[in-house]
Amino acid sequence: MLNKKRIEQYLPYVFVFLIAILVRISLFNYKSNDYNVFLSAWFDSFKGLSFSNVVKSYEGDYQISYVYILYFLSKLPVFSLYTIKSVSCLFDFLTAFFVAFLLKKVAKSNDDVCFCAFVSILFLPTVVLNSGLWAQCDIIYSFFAVLAVFSLCENKSTLAWIFFSVSIYFKLQAVFILPLFIYVAFISGKQLSLLKGIMLPFIHIILSLPALVCGYPFSNLWKIYFGQVKEYPSLTMSMPNVYMLFNLKNNAFTKIGIIFAFLLYALMLLIIIKNYYKKNRKSAVNIVFLLATWSILTANMLLPRMHERYLFLGDIISVVFFFTDRKKWFVPVGVNLLSVFAYMRFLFLGDKINLRIIAFCAVGFYVLLTAFTVKELNKINANDKTVVSE
C-alpha cells in the first residue's frame, strides 16, 4: 500500500500528466502534409494486407521498425490519425518519466529537480508539436537515444550501444550522438568499449527478423538509410544553419561541410584527450550531456540536407543538461528557440519568418556553445576530479 507521503509525492505528476494529455488531444484533429501524403496512404494500404505482404510491398523511407507499429495500428478500429499520434505521445510520457527517474538515479538530483524536468520535457514546444500536431515519430528514436546517453554517464557501454542501436533502427538522426561514444570512451579511459559498436548491425538484423522471415529484402535494411541521405538535393531543408546563412546552393559545398564537421569532431576529441586521457577522471553527467548537445548541434549546423526536425533530440538533451547544471540556462534556451522558429516557419508561418536572420543567430549561438564547451572541458584541469552539478 502506498503511504500518504508517497501519494502526495506522485499527485503533481498525475496532475501534469493529465494536463499534458488534454493539450495533446486538443491538437489531434490537425492533419499535416506528411500525414496526408505519406502516413495515411501507408496506413490505408496496410489494412487489407497480411504482414508478409506489407513488408514485401513497402517502399517508404521509414525504417521497417516503424512499419511494425503502423501495421499493428492499422488493425485497430480507430482513426489512423489518432492512433499514430497516440503512439508518439506515449513515448513523450515515457521519455519525460525516464528523464526524471534517471536524473534521480544517475545525477542524484533532488525530487523538485526531477519533477521540473518531467514537466519541462512534456511541455517542450517541439515535443508537443512533433507528436500531438505533426504526427511525427521523432520522440521514439529520441527516447532510446536519451537512455543511451544516461547509460554512458554510468559507464554502462554495452547497454548504451544496445539503446543506440535501437534508436538508430528507428531514425538515422540518432547518429548525431555517435561521436559521444568516442568522447566518453576517452574520458573514462575505456577505449576498448568502442569495439562493442560491432553489435549495432547484429541488433539491427535481430530486430528485423520478423520482416526478413516474411520476405523483406535483406539489402533494404541499410538501403533506406542511403536513400534518406540522397532523397533531398537541397543543402538545407528548412534548418537555419551555415548553408542558409550564406545562401549556399552549390552541391560542391556538401563535401566541404562534411569534412569541416568531422574536423571539428576530431578537434573536440583532441581537447578531451588533453584534459582526460590517463588522468583517472569520471565522466560527469553534465559534461556528457553538454557534449551530446554540442555534437547534435554540430551536425545540424554543418552537415548538408538537415531538416527542421533534425534538432529534436538536441531539444531534449539540452534540457536534461540544464537540470544537471542549472546555471547554464542559455544552452537549452538557445537550442529550443532555434527549433521552435524552424517548426513555426514550416508548419504555420512560411516565408513570414526570415530564416536567414534565424540562421545568423543560430550560427552565432553555435560558435558560443562551442567556445563554452571547450571552456568547460579545459576547466577540468583545474580540479583533481570532475564533480556532477547538483
DSSP 37-63: IIIHHHHHHHHTS-HHHHHHH---SS-
pLDDT at 206: 95
pLDDT at 384: 45
Q: How many residues does the chain have?
A: 390
Three-state DSSP class for residue 319:
helix
- pLDDT digit string (tens) for the chain, length 390 residues: 557 777 778 899 999 999 999 999 999 999 998 899 889 988 888 888 899 999 988 877 788 999 999 999 999 999 999 999 999 999 999 999 999 999 999 999 999 999 999 999 999 999 999 999 999 999 999 999 999 999 999 999 999 999 999 999 999 999 999 999 999 999 988 888 899 999 999 999 999 999 999 988 888 888 877 766 666 667 777 899 998 888 777 676 788 889 999 999 999 999 999 988 766 666 789 999 999 999 999 999 999 989 889 999 999 999 999 999 999 999 999 999 999 999 998 888 777 888 889 999 999 999 999 999 999 999 876 554 443 333
Please tell me whether the overall predicted TM-score, pTM, comes out greater than 0.85 for this model.
yes
pLDDT at 282: 65
pLDDT at 386: 41
Please report which helix (H) or strand (E) contains residue 360, including its range.
helix 355-378
* Cβ burial, residue 73 (10 Å; 0-12/13-18/19+): middle
pLDDT at 9: 80
pLDDT at 387: 37
The Cα–Cα gap between 14 and 1 comes to: 18
Place of cell 542558409: 244
Q: What residue type is assigned to position 245 of the chain?
A: L
